Amino acid sequence: MPSKVDDLVLKLEALLFASGRPLSVRQLSDALGHADSRSIPTALRSLAAAYDGRQTALELRRVGDRYAIQLREPFVAVARVVTPLDMAPRTLKTLTLIAYHQPMLQSVLAKMLGDAVYEEVQRLRSAGLIRTEPKGSTLELTTTRLFAEQFGIPSTRPEEIRQFLEKKLGVVPSTVPTEGAVLDTPSDASPALALDERENGAAPASL
């Protein structure tokens, strides 16, 4: 591979590693000051192949129209012990929506909450609270056993988690949203605030 391409691959790796969140081809191109972004996808494929070709806990994953360097699934649990569980209201809201509507497509979640979802999903996955599985051009999101344990939910079954959230948060029952749909919740029932009580030391039963 020509040195120029090698240099671009390394620069993209540096950007993705330092950002800590998924970045689009346009964002990567702008960060590098490239007027022409056509070389970026080729370099990203080379970077993905490099990770696939060596023993490493990391991988390059495409999430929607963005790319991220993340831990491979078998190593998420290992890293969990040093991952702080300190979530902002936006992160808590994202987690609640995933828990309520799971299995949920990341593309649907992004239409509900905006592009910040990609970063939040990465954060929740790194904390071991959700798992992600490729589903077409997007990801399917579900909660983990750790999520139920952390928030005092006595079940890992989606329907029972949904019932628990309806009872404790007042979330209005609804079907799983389709593309472009929004969650039907009462204005005074904030999933983020309710989960935040748990983070501030409230007993799990107060969720």
Query: pLDDT tens-digit profile of 158-172?
Result: 988 888 888 766 665
Average pLDDT over residues 118-131: 88
Domain boundary among 71, 92, 125: 71
Structure confidence at residue 80 (pLDDT): 59
Domain span at residue 155?
Answer: 76-206
Same domain? For 82 and 157 the reply is yes
**Entry pTM:** 0.56
Residue type, 172: V
Q: What is the CATH number of the domain that holds 111?
A: 1.10.10.10
- Does residue 101 register a pLDDT over 50? yes
Same domain? For 63 and 84 the reply is no
Q: Give me the phi and psi of 127, to 5 degrees please.
A: -80, -5
Structure confidence at residue 192 (pLDDT): 40
Number of domains in the chain: 2
Same domain? For 30 and 103 the reply is no
Task: State the chain's mean pLDDT as an integer.
Answer: 76
Average pLDDT over residues 31-45: 89
Over residues 7-22, the pLDDT tens digits come to 899 999 999 988 877 8
Domain boundary among 31, 47, 71: 71
- Does residue 109 register a pLDDT over 50? yes
